Structure 1
């Protein structure tokens, strides 16, 4: 695929291509016929009965039904306010080039303020200046009438062809794919959607990646250690034997034991590797060792408060080599344990979910 093709509008199926094109034919023809009849019946023979910006509006309401630019208020309000801006500039500004610029800029300002941004509204403003239209009725007949009729035709056509307008957004999965999976996922989703989207593929991917990053950041900033820590923590006392501590690790299938004193304050931590520091000793001898845990434990222990946010744990695990971090309360008493696995689970599971009962 060439660069030009890749940057253009995505292809749609034959059925959608025919449905959109035929809808525009019937819609614009109906708008023209009804507006011409109204113009003749009203006696406003000095006014046009159909304006060119309606053609641009038709592209949006029939081909881009998911776009906020094609919502009913955007079409009617945008075209009408744009025309009023053009008429005002045609009346009060002399040089046509200045009037044209002021009209388009004023139309954009009005549409943004009124929350009805619609690109053809800029064309409607320019049309009023170029034709030097100064009759205020022109903004309502034919522009507002054309716009309202076009919206009505689009609503009826999309309903008749079972494409609700405005088109509902498909429900998103609870978990966004990673960056490597986004490309194929976007292509599959757009193909299933079956309509032209007024956003290019690269921008859509960028938005999804940014949304994923923001979702992770919000999760990191909202979850505290107390939300994900393991509360039923196996511990050791400094005078416990190496044999007892090793048995406890093997029995519960865990890798570390915080060492606590009588007030449950953390004074050390011991792992299976710490307990097997004698390379010459047989495994059976280690299980029978009466050496106290205090002789093998690491005394400088990194602990975290239960109120600490998850975002503050990432540097501890990523940069300091920690795998297990005891969690303490305001009185420095042990209340839980957090592992790298707990942090990863917290990033990839719903916020409301139970916690495991043993350290891993």
Structure 2
């Protein structure tokens, strides 16, 4: 019973209500801004994995995985790996697995791990994307989110966790 109980007990600490509201508003604002910019400009500045990035960034802003270098570097590296590999390999289940593993290994080895960026091989292969995708939405979207995170952390600091 004890082992089973541990499986279903949240390991994450409870966030104070004020922090929960503030971080939720930040996620909503960031996603709305990127989506709105995309709609107004006619250029894609948003991709689904940036939603997960916003959750990490605005709920766990001090986490190593939420730092600007990890966000921008992780996305650029993972997308580059995917575009390069899919330039030479067919878009198959095994090449997708290889690209995702290579991206994770390189992000970790270069100390710029950002888990949502590991979705880039999937987005590149399913969308048939090429080098243009690296600039927009990847670089622009990741940079906008990272800058918003810097502003958020400057204003809010660690107060969302009641510290």
TM-score, length basis structure 2? 0.85
1:89 corresponds to: 85
Decide which structure has greater strand share. 1
Partner of 1:142: 137
Partner of 2:35: 32
> 1:4/1:16 Cα in 2 relative to 1: closer, same or farther (>3 Å)?
farther
Q: Distance in 2 between matches of 1:88 and 1:145?
A: 20
- Partner residue in 2 for 1:156: 151
Deviation of 1:75 (Å): 0.2
Counterpart among 96, 101, 112 of residue 97 in structure 2? 101
In terms of fraction of residues, the more helix-rich structure is 2
The separation in 2 between residues aligned to 1:4 and 1:106, in whole angstroms, is 31
Count how many residue pairs are aligned between Structure 1 and Structure 2. Answer: 159
Deviation at 1:132, TM superposition (A): 2.4
Partner of 1:62: 58
Q: Is the 8 A contact 1:35 1:145 kept in 2?
A: no
User: Which of 123, 127, 139 is the equivalent residue of 2:123?
Assistant: 127
Which residues of structure 1 form unaligned runs of 5+? 169-191, 196-360
Give the C-alpha shift of residue 35 in structure 1. Answer: 4.0
Name the SS for the 1:6 alignment partner: coil
Instruction: Kindly state the Cα deviation for residue 65 of structure 1 after the two structures are TM-superposed.
Output: 0.9
Q: In the alignment, which residue of structure 2 is the partner of 1:73?
A: 69
Distance, in Å, in 1 between the alignment partners of 2:93 and 2:82 is: 12
For residues 174-197 of structure 1, the C-alpha deviation after alignment (integer angstroms, 9 at most, x for no partner) is xxxxxxxxxxxxxxxxxx9538xx
Distance in 2 between residues matched to 1:29 and 1:13, nearest whole Å: 24
Instruction: State the partner residue of 2:162.
Output: 194
Q: Secondary structure at the match of 2:9?
A: helix
- What's the CA shift for 1:26? 0.4
Q: Which of 23, 28, 38 is the matching residue for 2:26? A: 23
Following superposition, the deviation at residue 158 of structure 1 comes to 3.3
Please, which of 9, 13, 16 is the counterpart of residue 16 of structure 2? Answer: 13
CA distance in 1, matches of 2:46, 2:26: 18
Instruction: Write out aligned runs for 1:164-243 (5 A).
Output: 167=158, 193-194=161-162
Matched with 1:111 is 107
Structure whose alpha-carbon radius of gyration is higher:
1
Q: What does the per-residue CA deviation read over 1:72-117, in whole Å, with 9 as the maximum and x for residues that have no partner?
A: 0000010111111122222211151022111101111221233211
TM-score by length of 1: 0.41
Please tell me whether the aligned partners of residues 36 and 50 of structure 1 are also in contact (alpha carbons under 8 angstroms).
no
